[in-house]
Structure 1
């Protein structure tokens, strides 16, 4: 009799979180992207382990159904991350993934699970002030052009097949963002660091201050455009360490 193979468990991480980390920073991918978008970031900042999270429907999970809403994704993330919440942790989300980070933190609190030490929300208006963003009004052709720009910014070559796959994911993400709305919003379950970028024309930093209505926030204005976070700039890494109470030594060069 042939043994039945157990179904393969989804891989939520490109590398499993280390048991030696002092703090884990779970980094959620930007719209249309997978976990490899964080490949330019260091593996650690002080004793903070950078843990890029892989979402269904992209890269090595391309054959899986993408999420249908931020709420459903947050529920899945609670299940996937629960075994790794055995030490202080934080979430980083840029643009729409900042809202996913917020929703996941709320659901952890509702379930009686550990909540983040801090949320890092970048280039995203507060949950009750959206949905906001030029991408939400773009045509498919315009979004295709943005995919080409993003792949190039990530250091890749925008081959037609890669663009087509990424566009499919981006369209799904945009639909989920359009459908998202909370009124009134729930208070933050932990402090938040709200990160704006001084050259960001997609989500101007002046629009981010309403996060303060939800609880304890620290606002930081960093230098760079909307995609500036991709390279893991030193000011961003320093913000992680400072706001999580760790000591960071800047990388040489």
Structure 2
């Protein structure tokens, strides 16, 4: 599969900043869309914020939802290359952290070095034995409510179940069938951000996935800590390497 030649298909930027010194690329969680990050641009004046538009939802609802997480990362990386004139900071939450990992790997193969990777809703821990995806729609809805990203009334709404639940299910299948590989190892710094009450964090051996520096930041909250307290200070304070190609 080749990347779409128009990066705007893959990326949404609600607050363009011609004077920005760096770009922040935000990857939604499973079942999420670019709109999850719609308020981040005005709150992060040091960045030009771009949110990733996954196929199969929102403006891309007519397209098939992605089924291969590694290929999804490659396609996003291809779309990001024209934006690599500034340092690219990648921020992914939950499943989005792993999509960001695969995007960063492909960017480095293309000769573009990300300045930093933030893996939110994920912690440094041994990779657990993968469990099969639960295809029961009611169980998936109950899980969404328990995670805190969806309220019970929304999950029960027929429109939600008709339009949104299918791509949530698709993302769940894609994530649970993703075959984690320890290589290629990244060169960029990696920071994980995890809530102190997050019992549902993705577990991954992040320090072994990069030759760059690694830090883990523990913040107050559960798996969706960033709804109430987005990690703006951590992003702003992070050391960012200059844009580099080749």
Q: TM-score, normalised by structure 1?
A: 0.79
Distance 1:238 1:27 in 2: 16
Confirm or deny: 8 A CA contact 2:5 2:79 kept in the other structure: no
Secondary structure (helix, strand or coil) at the match of 1:129 reads: coil
* Residue 140 (structure 1) aligned with residue 137 (structure 2): yes
**2:226 alignment counterpart:** 229
**1:200 alignment counterpart:** 198
Distance 1:188 1:15 in 2: 26
Mean CA deviation greater in 118-127 or 220-229: 118-127
Distance 2:118 2:95 in 1: 12
**1:75 alignment counterpart:** 74
Q: 1:165 aligns with which of 163, 166, 170?
A: 163
Confirm or deny: 8 A CA contact 1:147 1:167 kept in the other structure: no
Confirm or deny: 8 A CA contact 1:125 1:132 kept in the other structure: no
Distance 1:83 1:89 in 2: 11
Secondary structure (helix, strand or coil) at the match of 2:194 reads: strand
Cα distance, 1:211 vs. partner?
A: 1.2
**1:181 alignment counterpart:** 179
Q: 1:119 aligns with which of 117, 126, 130?
A: 117
Q: How does 1:235-246 map to 2 (within 5 A)?
A: 236-244=231-239
Which structure 1 residue ranges, 5 or more long, are not aligned?
A: 1-6, 247-253
Cα distance, 1:131 vs. partner?
A: 6.4
Secondary structure (helix, strand or coil) at the match of 1:31 reads: coil
**1:103 alignment counterpart:** 102
Cα distance, 1:23 vs. partner?
A: 0.9
Cα distance, 1:180 vs. partner?
A: 1.1
Name the larger-Rg structure: 1
Cα distance, 1:177 vs. partner?
A: 0.9
**2:244 alignment counterpart:** none
Distance 1:88 1:193 in 2: 16
Q: TM-score, normalised by structure 2?
A: 0.81
TM-aligned CA distance change 1:108 to 1:245, over 3 Å: closer
Distance 1:101 1:65 in 2: 20
Confirm or deny: 8 A CA contact 2:21 2:87 kept in the other structure: yes
Secondary structure (helix, strand or coil) at the match of 2:165 reads: helix
Confirm or deny: 8 A CA contact 2:124 2:206 kept in the other structure: yes
**2:10 alignment counterpart:** 12
Confirm or deny: 8 A CA contact 2:108 2:186 kept in the other structure: no
The alignment of Structure 1 onto Structure 2 pairs a total of residues equal to 232
Confirm or deny: 8 A CA contact 1:195 1:222 kept in the other structure: yes
Distance 1:178 1:42 in 2: 31
Cα distance, 1:77 vs. partner?
A: 0.4
**2:215 alignment counterpart:** 218
**1:94 alignment counterpart:** 93
Secondary structure (helix, strand or coil) at the match of 1:19 reads: coil
